Structure 1
Amino acid sequence: MPYAKLTLTIPDSIWISKVSRTYPDTRFRVLAATANTTTGVARIEIRGDDPEAVCQAIREYESVTDLTVFEADPEMYRVQVETTVPLLLTSLQDSGVPLEMPFEVRNAELTLEVTVPQRTLSEFGETLDRVGIQYTVEQIQQATESDSLLTDRQRWLLDEAIDRGYYDTPRETTLVELADDVGIAKSTCSEILHRVEEQVMKEYRRDEPDVYRNVAMTSD
């Protein structure tokens, strides 16, 4: 299946386009999102010099019906935003392209990496054209199984788990705390980490020299 990397320019009619242009150095990291034809809900990590001012700017948009702050410090807010114009999310969903979280919006641009059948990729481009979302294809190639051991989402969660001490001895954070910190369900967090661990262990076994496989373990 082909792998494609695209940069989408978010239309001005979507609030995150205008806000991210007003605050071009601020990073909007979408941790989770869902939408139907009339309503969209997204959990977003806002990182920049003044995330409080960014939140206030978001609240001023008529299409934003609610903004709830879950976590706040001087340079980072985690919020949930509800909107009545979920054009971007519904367009991505309607195209049939799986949208892996998190993804980042900066200065009205969103970079997506997808590995999908050629037909789905073509339909995705047609959907973007139809709704007026401009895009640039940065890279396209035939993907192979060995391209990457982990997906972007798996690498992101693994990095978060390591940074927060989940794999330290003793652990600095629990699975429940980790899931809450990154804004995903405990069951989802557990499943992703289990798949990461499975991939890494199997890859280690494939790379391990045969000479070590029959070494007997001794107790201390």
Structure 2
Amino acid sequence: MISVTMDMVQYDCPYIDVTDETDVSFHTMHWDFNTAKQKLETRILVQGDDRGALTNGLGALQEHDRMLEFELLSRRGDTAVIKSFIGQTNAMRTIREHDGYITGPFQIRDGSELWSVGFDTADNTDNALSELEDGNDVRVESRNATSFEEYLDVIQHLGAAKNVIDGCRELSETERDTLTKAVEGGYFQTPRRATLGMLADEFDISKTATSNNLRRAEGKLLERVVSVLPEVDSEDALIGK
């Protein structure tokens, strides 16, 4: 499989138009393309810069001339979940005509959209990207060939990956910033390029406070990593690693 991540501006997509006009972003939670009706059904998380921005964004999307159906499922503060239907866009048609398929959620903000797309062959990939440039503004962020074994490895370890991601979300802003500075500064390298004192100076706090922040961050992440090791080991054994 050829995996392509691209940043794309579609000139016929209502979601992109709305993020270009209002301070909202869209993150797809579920999507399904109905080939018979040529309609894309999506359930989308909508986030506004504030409550007013969300109201403006939802209103603009509902009134867009390419929006076929719109339903507000829930709303809380500056965040909402919607169900919507749009017709097939030029980019969607091009990818489908070259046997491409979506491999990740759409992320739409500031007038452009991040797509994760898969193709079975390099020729399909090249032809699709060439045609996409005719009707859209496309920038390829990454392109990688993924073997069946590598793809299977990712699928089988989704649970373990989510567990580690949840651990990252448990970090406080201070813990996250401290750990990031430590890694970027070379604190964990041998020999160390950054000392505890240098990290403390970065945050203008004592070395003791810096050490505590760092140890809490390490503890939260390592606890998650250790908890998924048995799962990874058992799945590796099943595929003969």
Letter in 2 for 1:6: M
For residue 45 of structure 1, report the CA deviation from its aligned partner. 0.9
What is the CA–CA distance in structure 1 between the aligned matches of 2:111 and 2:99, rounded to whole Å? 23
For residue 57 of structure 1, report the CA deviation from its aligned partner. 0.9
The 8 Å contact of residues 115 and 143 in structure 1, kept in 2 or not, is answered as: no
Q: Aligned pair count? A: 166
Letter in 1 for 2:232: E
Identity among equivalent positions (%) equals 11
Letter in 2 for 1:203: V
Which residue in the other structure is 2:29 paired with?
Answer: 31
What is the CA–CA distance in structure 1 between the aligned matches of 2:144 and 2:88, rounded to whole Å? 33
Normalised by the size of structure 1, how large is the TM-score?
0.61
What is the CA–CA distance in structure 2 between the aligned matches of 1:4 and 1:81, rounded to whole Å? 26
Which residue in the other structure is 2:232 paired with?
Answer: 203
The 8 Å contact of residues 31 and 101 in structure 1, kept in 2 or not, is answered as: no
The gaps in structure 2 that reach 5 residues or longer are 168-227
Name the structure, 1 or 2, with higher relative contact order (CA <8 Å, separation 6+): 1
Which residue in the other structure is 1:21 paired with?
Answer: 20
What is the CA–CA distance in structure 2 between the aligned matches of 1:148 and 1:5, rounded to whole Å? 19
The 8 Å contact of residues 10 and 16 in structure 2, kept in 1 or not, is answered as: yes
For residue 32 of structure 1, report the CA deviation from its aligned partner. 2.3
Query: Which structure 2 residues correspond to residues 1-220 of structure 1 after superposition, within 5 A?
Result: 1-11=1-11, 13-24=12-23, 26-33=24-31, 34-36=33-35, 38-48=38-48, 49-50=50-51, 51-84=54-87, 86-116=89-119, 117-130=121-134, 132-144=135-147, 145-146=149-150, 149-150=153-154, 154=158, 158=162, 203-205=232-234
Which residue in the other structure is 1:193 paired with?
Answer: none
From the CA coordinates, give the structure whose radius of gyration is larger: 2
CA RMSD of the aligned region, Å? Answer: 3.4
The 8 Å contact of residues 9 and 109 in structure 1, kept in 2 or not, is answered as: yes
The 8 Å contact of residues 52 and 77 in structure 1, kept in 2 or not, is answered as: no
The 8 Å contact of residues 7 and 137 in structure 1, kept in 2 or not, is answered as: yes
